[in-house]
């Protein structure tokens, strides 16, 4: 069984590393947060003192980081992991970053005799904890087959989108649509509530009608409608609004580079930019409902 170094133990990475441990994989982990490291150590992982320490003796590195600059820094800097990993090692980056950076990092990995997959995930923090994530993978098919046992320990669905960077492109398209759907759902619920409807009843109606979508059925943005949704715990512990803003920005950049139209994606980005500017960046992205309705009165 592969020895795994796991770098980045946030709301998504931490539960993913724990699921690997629960499936019998040996995991050495690193994060800047001592609390995050302690949670993985409590599950049986080794708390490393640095990313290089975590990668010592590893045949596989999995990373879950905030942005492309962090991924490039981890692997490509002068003291990055590419200079330390043995030939034949497999790198799986589960971060959501721009496809251009993913391709450049993969090219350098190949030049050093390493294999690399971009494998961003969908499914949120609940999916990370339950081990039911969807992995959207870019890279060589043979490398995906090597990675499959590890991905299956953390997720339920695995898609091969294409070559290097394809996983990131597919994820960006998905998250652009997710941002649009969440903003639309929040707007519709706010309209109903302002006109006397019960948000729980309206959500049930929508979920059984033509407006049904993931937000109304599994991640409702209105407090109290769905017990396990971030909205019912003050929008904590989910997918932060500032990260949704980042992903919508990536979609807009991709559209500009490919001369593609994205008017709805751009509108969603503007809504989230204002939302984050007003101090909601650390709240779950479903808190966009605050843009349409004051929840405190």
Contact call for residues 68 and 93 (beta carbons, < 8 A): no
Percent of the chain with pLDDT over 90: 93
Tell which wins on pLDDT, 66 or 268: 268
pLDDT tens, 93-117?
999 999 999 999 999 999 999 999 9
Place 10 in a pLDDT band, splitting at 50, 70 and 90: very high
Annotated catalytic residue within 156, 171, 208, 290: 171
Q: CA 128, CA 134: separation in Å to the nearest integer?
A: 9
Average pLDDT, the chain: 95
Place 237 in a pLDDT band, splitting at 50, 70 and 90: confident
Place 54 in a pLDDT band, splitting at 50, 70 and 90: very high
Contact call for residues 172 and 125 (beta carbons, < 8 A): no
pLDDT tens, 28-49?
999 999 999 999 999 999 999 9
Q: What's residue 63's pLDDT?
A: 98
Q: What's residue 294's pLDDT?
A: 81
Q: What's residue 150's pLDDT?
A: 98
Using the predicted structure, report yes or no on whether residue 1 has a pLDDT greater than 80.
no
Q: What's residue 297's pLDDT?
A: 44
pLDDT tens, 139-159?
999 999 999 999 999 999 999
Tell me, yes or no, if 171 is annotated catalytic: yes
Q: What's residue 158's pLDDT?
A: 98
Q: What's residue 94's pLDDT?
A: 98
């Amino acid at each position: 069984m592969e020895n795994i170094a796991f770098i980045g133990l946030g709301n998504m990475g931490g539960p993913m590393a724990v699921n690997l441990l629960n499936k019998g994989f040996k995991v050495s982990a690193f994060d800047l947060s001592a609390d995050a490291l302690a949670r993985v150590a409590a599950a049986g992982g080794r708390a490393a003192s640095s990313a290089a320490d975590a990668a010592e003796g590893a045949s596989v590195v999995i990373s879950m980081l905030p942005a492309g600059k962090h991924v490039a820094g981890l692997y490509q800097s002068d003291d990055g992991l590419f200079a330390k990993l043995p030939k034949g090692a497999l790198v799986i980056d589960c971060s959501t970053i721009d496809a251009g950076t993913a391709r450049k990092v993969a090219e350098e990995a190949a030049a050093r005799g390493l294999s690399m997959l971009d494998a961003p995930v969908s499914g949120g923090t609940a999916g990370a904890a339950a081990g039911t994530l969807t992995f959207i993978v870019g890279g060589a098919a043979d490398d995906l087959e090597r990675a499959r046992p590890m991905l299956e320990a953390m997720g339920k669905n695995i898609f091969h989108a294409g070559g290097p960077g394809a996983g990131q492109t597919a994820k960006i398209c998905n998250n652009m649509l997710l941002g649009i759907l969440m903003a639309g759902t929040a707007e519709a619920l706010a309209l109903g509530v302002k006109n006397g409807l019960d948000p729980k009843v309206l959500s049930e109606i929508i979920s059984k009608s033509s407006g049904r979508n993931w937000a109304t059925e599994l991640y409702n943005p209105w407090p109290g409608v769905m017990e396990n949704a971030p909205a019912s715990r003050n929008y904590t512990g989910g997918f932060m609004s500032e990260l949704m803003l980042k992903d919508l920005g990536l979609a807009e950049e991709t559209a500009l580079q490919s001369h593609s139209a994205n008017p709805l994606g751009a509108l969603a980005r503007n809504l989230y930019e204002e939302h984050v500017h007003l101090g909601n960046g650390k709240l779950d992205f479903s808190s966009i409902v605050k843009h349409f309705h004051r929840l405190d009165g």
